[in-house]
Structure formats: structure tokens, C-alpha cells
Chains A and B, each alone.
Chain A
């Protein structure tokens, strides 16, 4: 009930391409869905978050798409840049957060 499944485990995208990472959750009580970016040796940093009352949220090059009925949400990174190379984590929760296992993104120049 508390699992958050994230895919793919790793992703290679060419510069300028679109990176797409998917997550699925089980607990229908979850009402907060953030995406975090983490660089080696650093703590995670919030990229963008969504609540279930909307199906999409866009901030700059980052977009969350949310499908409540399918219990899935995804992160789209438009015009991916080498500086976006990092590990991305989805998370979900209502009082505490459960994180996915992460996706290591490499954007090739």
C-alpha cells in the first residue's frame, strides 16, 4: 500500500530531447506528489510538485502529468541539457513521503 514504483532505472537522452520518467503508486490516500533532483554528494532538491486536483503542472522545462484513476504520474523534461544529468526521485504521500528508487538521467552533449 505504501510503495511507489519508478521507471526507468536509468535513461540516456540527447541534448535537446525530452526525458520522461514514470511513477505509479498504490495508496489512494496519497495527496501530494513531488519530484526531486539529486546530484552526487548532495541532498535532494524539489523540482516540481502536484496535488490530485489538477492533471498537469508546468514550471519552465519541467512538467508533471498526473492520472488519478490510473494512480500514475510522470515527469517530462523538455529540451534536456547536460546540466540536467542527475538522479530523479518521485515521491508520494499524505503525512509522510514515500520515495521511488530513482532514475539516473544522463543527457549526452
Chain B
């Protein structure tokens, strides 16, 4: 399967703990996006990378959130000192953008986080 993969698929943690999610994009895709989706809502943009550079961050991305894409391939999203309000599905998407025009984003299956 050469689609976007995310690990873990499910994570249960206690409030105050740190969690880290991983996203492996489609090979050769230069853009990688992180979204958050809560029940009954559409995906909400968090941040995106063009290769290894983090180009934009949403206001939703508080100081407790950090994302990296160190070699322009896989990416990690870390949430420090988790809160119950962080419970959501975290989606990763990747796309191949030869220029600055938006192109098709391919989504992974998501990581479902539950903070107790």
C-alpha cells in the first residue's frame, strides 16, 4: 500500500501526558498537512510543511503542539500536557505541488486520540 500511513491508529492517554503521532506521506510528495477532526465536524487545518520547512500554522496550534518534518519525509505531531479538549481524530495528508497552487491532498486513516 503506497498511501499515507499514520501511527498509532488509536491512542488513549491521561490528562497531562505527552503524546506523539507519526505520519508517513506518499513517497515523493513534497507537502504534508496536519488536520484535527472532531465528531460531526470537518477537518480543521493545523499546520503544513513544504519539504522540511513548516510554512503555516493555524491559531488552533497552541504552544503545547509541535510538528516536525526533519528530512522532508515523515512527520511527527507532538502534544504536550494533553487536555481533554485535545480528544479528536488527527489526520495527515500529503500532496505533490510543483508550484504554489493547491493540489489533491491524500489523507491517511488518522490517529484517534482520547484523553481521559
A70 to B101: give the CA distance in the assembly, Å.
23
Q: Are B40 and A89 in contact (CB under 8 A)?
A: no
Count of residues in B whose CB is under 8 Å from the partner chain: 22
Return the contact of A96 from the options B4, B45, B104, B109 (Cβ within 8 A): B45
Chain A 36-67 interface residues, beta-carbon cutoff 8 Å to B: 36, 41-46, 49
Tell me whether A96 and B42 are in contact in the complex, defined as CB-CB below 8 angstroms, given that A31-B102, A32-B101, A44-B91 are known contacts: no
Q: Are A102 and B41 in contact (CB under 8 A)?
A: yes
A79 to B4: give the CA distance in the assembly, Å.
31
Return the contact of A94 from the options B44, B45, B102, B104 (Cβ within 8 A): B102
Q: Would you call the interface of chain B mostly helix, strand, loop, or mixed?
A: loop
Kindly name the residue among A6, A41, A44, A95 whose own CB sees the greatest number of chain B CB atoms within 10 A: A44
> In the assembled complex, which residues on chain A have CB atoms less than 8 Å from the CB atom of B56?
95-96
Q: Are B48 and A99 in contact (CB under 8 A)?
A: no
Q: Are B102 and A93 in contact (CB under 8 A)?
A: yes
Chain B 79-104 interface residues, beta-carbon cutoff 8 Å to A: 91, 93, 100-102, 104
Give chain A's interface residues, CB within 8 Å of chain B: 6, 31-32, 34, 36, 41-46, 49, 89, 91, 93-102
Given A36-B107, A43-B110, A97-B102: 9 more A-B contacts, CB < 8 Å:
A32-B102, A42-B109, A43-B108, A44-B43, A49-B104, A94-B102, A96-B33, A97-B45, A101-B41
The 5 closest A-B pairs by CB, nearest first: A99-B42, A43-B107, A32-B102, A89-B42, A96-B45
